[in-house]
Amino acid sequence: MRGPSFRATAVLITAFAATPSLLMAQAVQTVTLSQPDAQFTEPFDQVTAIRELRDGRVVVSDLFAKTVSVVDLRTGSATAIGREGQGPGEYAFPGGLVALPGDTTLVVDPAQRRFLKIGPDLKPVGTISFPEGVGGIVSVKGADRQGRVYFQGSPFRGGPLGGPRGPDAEIPDSVALLRWHPAGKSIDSLGRIKIPAIARATSGTANARAVIMRPQPFSPSDDWSVTPEGRIGIARVGDYHVEWLGAPKVAGPAVRAARVPVTKGDKDEFGRRSQDPRGRVTIAVGGNAAGRGDGAPVAPQLPEPDWPEFKPPFVSNSVVAAPDGQLWVERSQPAGAARLYDVFDAQGRLVRQVRLAPRSRVVGFGATSVYVAQTDADDLQVLQRFRRPA
């Protein structure tokens, strides 16, 4: 957050503009989210995730500013929750937000491999360690109404569920989808997904080694999310279709997608984001990270990316499940174009597309709303709320 004062501007009219689009050999309506019904005008640095509470307030995680706050769009107020640190009510790197039953929320803290638990009164009530036996940096996707947490296993360090143990081990091309029962501490493996190709560079010795890793840009990969009922929706990149795991297990038809070339604009944007250190998570294993003559290795440099000719059909790490059981998948677009989301139903069928204003992206859902982060000319973000198209 920037400064102690917060304001919100409410807009009472929500407008949708519909245009036809031909996909899968059938007409699919494209809906444009053009005017929010409310927005919070005090900017964030980087909205990572939101969680709408039952009274309409919104918990917001800001990755770059390293803050978690609760925002009231009706009054324009915001209140900090916890703070940066390593104590019992603190977080080192607030990532995603996991919605548990009864307005309880888990803040994902990957740098400390734990969750900060926030009670219904919006006060920190303790920490929960990541499950034993799962190493590496895992990607937490959400929880169901029974409180079971869903996450994606790591391809790095961690044994059978987390991937290869050594920093020089071969990186697999797929990882497990896992369901964790915090009460019973059991972990179920529910399937596997294809992950992006990963570039890696190392330096140092076995006693003090620095390893840097980065997904190759526009590398084809699957993506997924989970609904409150515990159904897992997977966007498969091979022939671009949506598969649902759970009751029932179904696979929808393939979706035709135009091939989008990778251009200089895409490369420039990737380079700009790569230079921003605020989104990096550093985990030290052995030695320290100073690298200034005290025995720690100098950080290695990754080679230039292997640029493909075309983008995959959808954007990596963009899939979000709505509370109504639909799956939103961000379609690949030319550099600088407004974002476009394909919306799939519970049978894996494409039912509509949703277009956002330029420099906007979906960051989460409420009971009947979709929340969007709108980036301004200074690269700061305003949180907006729209009525979710039905």
- pLDDT tens, residue by residue, 8-62: 323 222 333 333 333 444 578 999 998 999 999 899 999 999 999 999 999 999 9
Average pLDDT over residues 122-126: 95
Q: Per 3-state DSSP, what percentage of the chain is helix, strand, and coil (rounded to 5)?
A: 5, 45, 50
Q: What is the pTM of this model?
A: 0.86
- Both tokens of residue 345? 């139903």
Helix (H) or strand (E) holding 111: none
Average pLDDT over residues 264-291: 67
Q: Which residues contact 255 (CB under 8 A, 6 or more apart)?
A: 23, 24, 240, 241, 313, 342, 350
Q: List strand residue ranges (DSSP E) for 238-283, in order.
A: 241-245, 250-251
Q: Which residue has the tokens 């059991």?
A: 186
Output the pLDDT for position 133.
73
- Both tokens of residue 327? 């799956």
SS3 assignment, position 229: coil
Least confident of 143-147, 184-188, 319-323: 184-188
Give tens-digit pLDDT for 81-119.
999 999 988 999 898 999 999 999 999 998 899 999 999
Output the pLDDT for position 184.
77
Give tens-digit pLDDT for 344-381.
999 999 999 999 999 999 999 999 999 999 999 899 99
Q: Is the peptide bond prior to 248 cis by the omega test (within 30 degrees of 0)?
A: yes
**Closest to 386 in 3D by CA, of 377, 289, 206, 374:** 374
Cα dihedral value 386, 375, 22, 326, nearest 10: -50
Average pLDDT over residues 281-286: 50
d(CA 362, CA 50): 10
Q: Which residue has the higher pLDDT, 100 or 160?
A: 100
Give tens-digit pLDDT for 125-141.
999 999 887 777 778 99
Reported confidence tier of residue 206, pLDDT bands at 50, 70, 90: low
**Sequence spans of domains, the chain:** 1-14+34-129+361-390
